[in-house]
Amino acid sequence: MEAQLWVAWAQLLVRLLPKGRLVSRSFTADRPASATTIASAPASAERIATAVSRVCRHGLLRPECLVRSIALQKMLARHGIENSRVRLGVRSRDGVFESHAWVECGDRLIGDEPRHVRTFTPLDGLSVFGPRDGS
């Protein structure tokens, strides 16, 4: 139920904020990306990621990766797993421009497939606003 609420919140956030308001050039630049918090609770982080993933597949909404990632990052923070961030990446495949959003905590990928994420070039220095950045 909690995951469903955060997915709905993230969907509303993405739809209502003006274009460009979610992107920040300094979201994590001043904060060290530390894996110590995630290292102490990896099972909890994976349970949260699984809950969000299930809600996105079987819940009331069928959100895209950005909404899923924002909801996951917010839930992780609410459960004490700090320093997670939403990352953005791009690729061109068969002449089609594609983008993807995923969540990282330190150097650890949360709730996504490493093989899939590696096909995108991360937009370094850009992230999505987090819970303490005015969203």
For 69-97, what is each residue's pLDDT tens digit?
999 999 999 988 888 889 999 999 888 99
Instruction: Give how many domains the chain has, as a whole number.
Output: 1
Asked, for residue 24, whether it belongs to a domain, the answer is: no
Q: Between 108 and 40, where is the model more confident? A: 108
Q: Alpha-carbon distance 57 to 54, whole Å?
A: 5
Asked, for residue 22, whether it belongs to a domain, the answer is: no
Question: Is residue 33 within 8 Å of residue 83, measured between CB atoms?
Answer: yes
Domain range for 72? 2-15+36-128
Residue 22 has pLDDT above 60, yes or no: yes
Asked, for residue 78, whether it belongs to a domain, the answer is: yes
Span 103-109, average pLDDT: 88
